[in-house]
Structure 1
């Protein structure tokens, strides 16, 4: 089954780091390439300020008054689902509020309803270099900025014209310590060579889905893997298997049927907590398991599932 999947680009970065400026460049390039794209924006306020950068002929959905990570994660999944039902899209750009955590954004993109309609191509985090160096902000803000860097595939050190050469080197060094795998780009006005972004990952739409997944995930820092769960499994064994998963799994969720009966359950696992709730079918769902984590061992997970 190899059907069309949209490329997802997540733009992360603390407030004022240059995300909207970068989005403007990206949309311009996509337009030149003739690709069909949509933008999802999420801001904390009542009114969106940034949406003015999105051309009027680009599909735009806005999630206001909440952060993707808490109040509107479900809404983000729903909005993506709506987008895919209404449009055939080559790419979707998600500009997350500066207060969003990348793991949460990725989680919203890998809801079991939509996991097979997209592939996450890159998580890009923009950093205001001066703010990074001066370490301004509360402990909470500094921690979030660090997390945004830690889980990025590409880190853009922006506004380097505001700092000295040696400060640029210091910033580059500290970013590399937090995330040695990321590509680090030094820029002003969020201008990067966009081919770096577009050449991330696979661009291998000719491969079968399973190959596609493994290719796509190779250089992604945060993996998301999707596995089918066609057979009924023992609830006890399934729960034990999830709890024994390695520590680098952040989230797991999906739809499953247990040997105890025909009902479908939606399960959620995060930070050691596991919940099951009966799914009352408003629509057909695929019985799948979605796992989000770092450096996941796909073969080992597959084997564990087969033994259930």
Structure 2
């Protein structure tokens, strides 16, 4: 099996310290001899934080929008471009502060990328004072809680802006939302990146093949299933609907038993949408699923039921 490139998403609201942490992570990765690519998303026309990225690091910028909405397709294309041009070990994606994590992961796991990437995890950076005081709109509170909820690692940054004795309260409030994520306090995002890749942290730098272990430690599960035979649309829809855990998205390229050809499949909110693909293109017949607490063993033993052996 060919080597896959790790994908790590950096999340957090504006001014939390994502870019500073990213710069520290890049330095660490380079010392380990790993080749890094970076994609930075900015809502405005100019990305000031690009100056923090070393000039020899492959960098792509997505401006004037958010990777979880109007730039979702562009993010997939930029990942493909980095993979085609550079030999990389990891791509760090710094999302805009307004990004929703499920949609960002969705954009990173396009079916055409499934054979080439591994979702290694999500790091969310929290501004300690902002989180503690909670002086923000209801909409923003909901967004920040979502960024914490789906993170594998939470960095409580800018601890120098609050009293030292408030750390326990901060950690407790975050654990109420995400009891599984690893939590680290920091000042100026100055944290030893080696901690992120230790055995006690969900994000690890080893390369895995397509097994349960590749994804089991992540808060948001992403699994890829490959099909050897055409699928039955109704059985697949029933299979997706009855999966244990919380399924957010499913997508892939499939052949269906009721009609010849290859189709792009998208599943959300309980229904399947199929779009016929152009001929003479080599689409991988596979399905990518994204969710929480998904039972891999159940899925791998029941996925054969949706296929029709000719």
User: Equivalences for 1:217-232 in 2 at 5 Å?
Assistant: 217-232=215-230
The aligned counterpart of 2:304 is: 306
Change (3 A) 1:132 1:281: farther
Distance of 2:264 and 2:15 partners within structure 1: 38
Question: Offset of 1:152 from its aligned partner?
Answer: 0.5
Distance of 1:170 and 1:270 partners within structure 2: 37
Unaligned runs of 5+ in 2: none
Aligned residues: 303
| Mean CA deviation greater in 277-286 or 298-307 | 277-286
The reply on whether 1:234 has 2:243 as its aligned counterpart is: no
Asked whether the equivalents of residues 196 and 203 of structure 2 are also in contact (C-alpha less than 8 Å), the reply is no
Deviation sequence 1:234-270 (CA, Å, 0-9, x none) = 2222222223334501110001111122211111112
Q: Normalising to structure 1: TM-score of the pair?
A: 0.94
The aligned counterpart of 1:82 is: 81
> The residue matched to 1:144 in structure 2 has which SS?
helix
User: Equivalences for 1:99-248 in 2 at 5 Å?
Assistant: 99-199=98-198, 200-201=202-203, 203-205=205-207, 209-210=209-210, 213-246=211-244, 248=246
Unaligned runs of 5+ in 1: none
The aligned counterpart of 2:72 is: 73
The aligned counterpart of 1:38 is: 37
The aligned counterpart of 2:256 is: 258
Distance of 1:281 and 1:83 partners within structure 2: 26
Asked whether the equivalents of residues 151 and 221 of structure 1 are also in contact (C-alpha less than 8 Å), the reply is yes
User: Equivalences for 1:50-65 in 2 at 5 Å?
Assistant: 50-65=49-64
The aligned counterpart of 1:91 is: 90
Distance of 1:27 and 1:204 partners within structure 2: 16
Distance of 1:282 and 1:22 partners within structure 2: 44
> The residue matched to 1:29 in structure 2 has which SS?
helix
Distance of 2:221 and 2:245 partners within structure 1: 14
CA-based RMSD of the aligned residues comes to 1.6
